[in-house]
Amino acid sequence: MSVIRAIEYKDEKLHIINQTLLPLHLEFIITDDYNRIAEAIEKLEVRGAPAIGIAAAFALALSVKNLSALNKENFYKAYERLSITRPTAVNLFYALNEIKKTFHANYGKENIFSVLINRAREIHNDDIKMCEAIAQNGLSIFKKPSVVLTHCNTGSLATGGDGTALNVIKSGFEKGLVELVYVDETRPLLQGSRLTAWELEQCKIPFKIISDSTAAVLMKEKQIDLVITGADRIAINGDAANKIGTYNLSVLCNHHSIPFYIAAPSTTIDQASNSASDIKIELRDKRELLEINGNAITKNYYDAFCPSFDITPNQMITAIITEKKVYKSPYNFKNVRDN
């Protein structure tokens, strides 16, 4: 299997694959400017909840790199800038707060930049380990060689390691447990047809791209054995926010008696969200729906509703796969990171 890394820190700069150009062009953003990294998060040049968190951790650490005189005001300015980039992805806030805690504990020390960068590296390495554990735990969901459907992108491009839901699929394929992957194109930004398809191609896993609305037909014709997606925020009761269109799949799976799984690291579980009502859903610019690659596909003055995520209720989820174990209903993720 080829190794794809969405984010790498080297030579005191962050190297980020510009995912808006994939799969046609592979280009990197190379920067030590936290504002440029914040922009990359907002523009979805880097995306996926774990990857967003890792990028933000390095960005906040880099914010103190070139300061002639370190002060808390500059650090908090960077913190606030990064915290408003993507409101739904809880990993963002987990990573920023870890760097903030490290900053407070080491404020006034001469080597604080190195200390912060090392904490960001630890966050990155932790995610690599969690991705591998998720993949191993996820093997238990395959009862036979299966045809799998997935939504959006949950592989190496979305994480610090080899992915969450897509890593479960990769591991299943290596064990002879995945025969074919149906990839939702994932409108409006086509993360499935652009990114997941590209990753599956790199790994030589058989796949077919489908429109989001094709899933129902495949399920009706008994062509899908299971569905697995990622998540950007999971509440304590198991309600899960993920890319818009995920809830549709859970409803279809429920109707057709098909298992519906979510794979995510424990850092995606938000201890401040008891249920769906506590999760803020990000609304995106309507141009993402009215245009493709900057080209209008309808009239630009039409109004549009463009949420980035929807919420799948916990009762619609067969199991949630984390690096700790596979959890089944009823879900109670209170203090799960400490267990």
- Catalytic residue positions? 232
DSSP 8-state class, residue 271: T
Contact assessment for residue 264 and residue 231, using Cβ atoms and an 8 Å cutoff: yes
CB proximity list for 96: less than 8 A, separation 6 or greater: 53, 56, 57, 60, 79, 82, 83
H-only helix segments in the chain: 34-42, 49-62, 72-83, 90-106, 112-138, 165-174, 191, 197-202, 215-220, 246-256, 287-290
And the tokens for 87? 């409101």
Question: SS3 breakdown of the chain: % helix, strand, coil, rounded to 5?
Answer: 45, 20, 40
**End-to-end Cα, the chain, rounded Å:** 32
Phi first, then psi: what are they for 309, rounded to 5°?
-135, 165
CB 23 within 8 A of CB 197: yes
| Sequence-distant (≥ 6) Cβ neighbours of residue 6 within 8 angstroms | 16, 17, 19, 46, 48, 51, 156, 157, 158, 159, 160
Q: Which amino acid is at 180?
A: L
